[in-house]
Chain A
Amino acid sequence: MKKNLIKSGMILTGIIALAFSFVACNGSGSQGEASGHDEHNIIGAGSSFDNPLFSKMFYEYHKNTKLQVNYQSVGSGAGISQLTHKTVDFGASDAPMNEEQEQAAGSDVLHIPVTAGAVVISYNLVEIKDTLKLTSEVLSNIFLGKITKWNDAQIASINPNIKLPATAIVVVHRSDGSGTSSIFTSYLSKVSPEWDSKVGKGTSVNWPVGLGGKGNEGVSGLVKQTPGAIGYIELAYAIQNQMPYAQLQNKAGHFIVPSIESVTAAANIEIPADGKISLTNTEAVDGYPISGFSWVLIYKEQSYNNRSQAGAEQLLKLLNWMIHEGQAYSAALDYAPLSPAAVKTGEVILKSATFNGQPILK
């Protein structure tokens, strides 16, 4: 009996130790994990929007260089946190890092624009054959829940040739946190002070009205099913699934059809040296107003966690290829190729990356 007691005591101690070890692992253990850097393997994680393009790019790059790139499409936020924990060589995000994230990163993280995408406004109005036109004001009022019927005077006045039905408007938004929502809400925040104060911008926000769908497929599914629905989806997804989408008035006053060309045009503006610019509500005359860059993120100082200089060089060469030759694969996959201005800025940023203080790319 006594022996049994001792034994169960020992087992219990074991349990507690085990339990604590789980906690400890979760708290700090992941930071110590090195990225297991061998020179024929680069690991990246982040934006799911970038994933189809990256897969194609890395496949082509592998054919030429035999370099394996392993990209995990886990979402922008998770990509940033994996980079911060130094478990990946690069992260990819549809939104630049915010202040908290930069603080968590510890040292400078470079933002290299790698492709551009757009968010289109899709709708379900069966009777209407012509493309709907929308202004920023009407769009924000619809998503604020202030316009509730399709035949509202505000919509009718910009669409004089379309006979609008009296159907109720069903707003559809993303339910999962996403870069698409981030671009869309940052546009609404820019064009509508009321949206900015009431709702704000982010990967998830407190939507005043509407239904949530998970992913682009969730939103487009709801829009297709629900008469009178309006929702926002990625341009590439909308093109591939032949969804109808509205023309949107840009800052210069033109109604712009979202397309690869009009997104590239939106990015052909003066880009700040750090590459972190929001393209929403662009100044560009022919630019589609809800466009945005997607960035690859790397630490400016590449010498950390016993990384080798050769490994850092390979990473930088890959990124340099991605913003130059790699852009050739964009259009076929419905991504907007980088504008000349963006490529130029990207080059300068890549050259600023260092290994032990020495520039890596010459």
Chain B
Amino acid sequence: MAQSAGFSRNIMDSVIKQTMPAISTETGKSEGHHFADRKRKQVRRSLSHIRGEKLFQQSLGFTGLSMLALVLAILLTLIVQSLPSIKALGFSFFWTSTWNPVQNVFGAFPFLIGTLITSFLALLISIPFSIAIAVFLGEYFPKGAFSNFIRSTIELIAAVPSVIFGFWGFFVLVPMVRALETKIGVMPNGVGLFSAALVLSIMIIPYAASLGTTMIKMVPATLKEGAYALGATRWEVLRHVIIPYAKSGLFAGILLSLGRAIGETMAVTMVVGNANFLPKNIFAPGNTMASVIANEFTEADHPIYLSALIEMGLFLFVVTFVINFIGKKIIKRATKNN
């Protein structure tokens, strides 16, 4: 305690030394020397203000860094807890496709495939809708009661608990998919990767749509007016000015929704069919990594089994990280081309 008091006094001294010139130069430029003198006196009088300032800065730093520490701690925990499974199963965990808790043989490959198929298919379905919404709300109807109504409705989608989407998917969407499957002549299970992707695509629309709307609104009016002045049509302005300008934001929104799709658990598990085999087509029942963890975690009664589920969590963590990394690269390249 005494040590920390001494430490903070030291900080105070250095704070005065450091901040004083900074304040004088900053204000000196804009407001004049007279004001700076007065300010200096004020600051000297209110040491507590500076202390508060410093405390605020430190707490900002601490809060920000503690998030980083938390992510690191989660990663570390996942690694440590999955060591037994890594030792027992080695790399076969990643590319074999038998998941047999009875014999403690675990291969996560079908679930990796399931996760990738459902989330990318969902993304593919959702992109036209989310971009259309972003353009509509960002460019065509940026203001007004109608626009506000649509915007809040779409944002409401993000606030609906995923289990509700699961229920809706299960009782409404799945019978419709079953009818479709009967028509095109595949096994009419109803549940499966395709149903999961459909439910997911609806759930992730708001993320890309609302970020895209904001980015499109931020396109400077002067640019658009310039294009119009040159005789461009609305479509041409959209195609050659707005979209290129807002491209990185649209990508970032899509990336955000992809992350949501990969991690979604409850809604997926209710409609994906939960079959632990490699899916033969997109209508086949499958399973995703998050769904398997949620399903089997509570009853995992063998140390290796539990550890294998945690290793799957680690795997999911890595997959998400890699996809995010690639996405960031794409955004960077897209913005560079401008």
Interface residues, chain A, with chain B CB atoms under 8 Å away:
3, 11, 14-15, 18-20, 22-23, 26-27, 74-78, 80, 98, 100-101, 168, 170, 175-179, 199-207, 210-214, 218, 221-222, 225-226
The answer to whether B274 and A175 touch across the interface, beta carbons within 8 angstroms, is yes
Contacting A23 at CB < 8 Å: which of B68, B80, B102? B80
Residue of A74, A178, A225 most packed against chain B (CB within 10 A): A225
> What CA separation (Å) do A102 and B228 show in the bound complex?
78
**A204-B303 contact in complex given A222-B191, A225-B178, C-beta closer than 8 Å:** no
The answer to whether A204 and B101 touch across the interface, beta carbons within 8 angstroms, is yes
Identify the closest chain B residue to A202 (Cβ).
B102
B40 within 8 A of A: no
The answer to whether B273 and A211 touch across the interface, beta carbons within 8 angstroms, is yes
B81 within 8 A of A: yes
> What CA separation (Å) do A11 and B58 show in the bound complex?
10
What is the 8 Å Cβ interface bit string for chain B, positions 6-25, against chain A (1 contact, 0 not)? 00000000100000000000
Given contact pairs A15-B69, A211-B189, a sample of 17 additional A-B residue pairs in the complex whose CB atoms are under 8 Å apart: A11-B65, A22-B70, A22-B74, A23-B73, A23-B76, A100-B301, A175-B274, A175-B295, A177-B295, A203-B299, A206-B99, A206-B100, A210-B275, A211-B273, A211-B285, A212-B274, A225-B178
Shortest B136–chain A CB gap in Å is: 36
B270 within 8 A of A: yes
Contacting A100 at CB < 8 Å: which of B103, B297, B303? B303
> What CA separation (Å) do A218 and B174 show in the bound complex?
13
**Chain B residues positioned under 8 Å from A22 (CB to CB):** 70, 73-74, 76-77
> What CA separation (Å) do A80 and B62 show in the bound complex?
39
B53 within 8 A of A: no
The answer to whether B285 and A27 touch across the interface, beta carbons within 8 angstroms, is no
The answer to whether A101 and B269 touch across the interface, beta carbons within 8 angstroms, is no
Interface residues, chain B, with chain A CB atoms under 8 Å away:
14, 61-62, 65-66, 68-70, 72-74, 76-77, 80-81, 98-103, 170-171, 174-175, 178, 187-191, 269-270, 273-276, 285, 287, 291, 294-303
**Chain A residues positioned under 8 Å from B77 (CB to CB):** 22-23, 26
**A177-B102 contact in complex given A211-B274, A212-B275, C-beta closer than 8 Å:** no
The answer to whether B300 and A77 touch across the interface, beta carbons within 8 angstroms, is yes
- The B interface, classified by DSSP as helix, strand, loop or mixed, is helix
**Chain B residues positioned under 8 Å from A18 (CB to CB):** 66, 69, 73
**Chain A residues positioned under 8 Å from B99 (CB to CB):** 206
The answer to whether B175 and A75 touch across the interface, beta carbons within 8 angstroms, is no
Residue of B103, B171, B298, B300 most packed against chain A (CB within 10 A): B298
> What CA separation (Å) do A201 and B81 show in the bound complex?
26
**A177-B276 contact in complex given A15-B69, A19-B76, A206-B101, C-beta closer than 8 Å:** no
> What CA separation (Å) do A177 and B175 show in the bound complex?
26
The answer to whether A177 and B274 touch across the interface, beta carbons within 8 angstroms, is no
Shortest B330–chain A CB gap in Å is: 30
The answer to whether B298 and A74 touch across the interface, beta carbons within 8 angstroms, is yes
**A226-B298 contact in complex given A23-B76, A206-B102, A207-B275, C-beta closer than 8 Å:** no
> What CA separation (Å) do A74 and B295 show in the bound complex?
12
**Chain A residues positioned under 8 Å from B299 (CB to CB):** 75-78, 176-179, 203-204
**Chain B residues positioned under 8 Å from A210 (CB to CB):** 275
> What CA separation (Å) do A23 and B69 show in the bound complex?
12
**Chain A residues positioned under 8 Å from B294 (CB to CB):** 176
Shortest B141–chain A CB gap in Å is: 40
**Chain A residues positioned under 8 Å from B80 (CB to CB):** 23, 26-27
Shortest B273–chain A CB gap in Å is: 5
> What CA separation (Å) do A15 and B63 show in the bound complex?
11
**Chain B residues positioned under 8 Å from A206 (CB to CB):** 98-102, 276
Identify the closest chain B residue to A21 (Cβ).
B73
**Chain B residues positioned under 8 Å from A75 (CB to CB):** 298-299
**A101-B276 contact in complex given A11-B65, A175-B269, A176-B295, C-beta closer than 8 Å:** no
> What CA separation (Å) do A221 and B299 show in the bound complex?
22
Shortest B39–chain A CB gap in Å is: 24
> What CA separation (Å) do A175 and B174 show in the bound complex?
17
**Chain A residues positioned under 8 Å from B62 (CB to CB):** 11
- The 6 A-B residue pairs whose C-beta atoms are closest, nearest first, are A177-B299, A212-B274, A175-B274, A200-B102, A75-B298, A22-B73
**Chain B residues positioned under 8 Å from A19 (CB to CB):** 69, 72-73, 76
The answer to whether A207 and B276 touch across the interface, beta carbons within 8 angstroms, is yes
Contacting B175 at CB < 8 Å: which of A176, A204, A213, A225? A225
Residue of A14, A26, A203, A205 most packed against chain B (CB within 10 A): A203
Contacting B301 at CB < 8 Å: which of A27, A98, A176, A200? A98
> What CA separation (Å) do A80 and B274 show in the bound complex?
26
**A204-B98 contact in complex given A23-B77, A80-B301, C-beta closer than 8 Å:** no
The answer to whether A15 and B72 touch across the interface, beta carbons within 8 angstroms, is yes
Identify the closest chain B residue to A100 (Cβ).
B302
Identify the closest chain A residue to B298 (Cβ).
A75
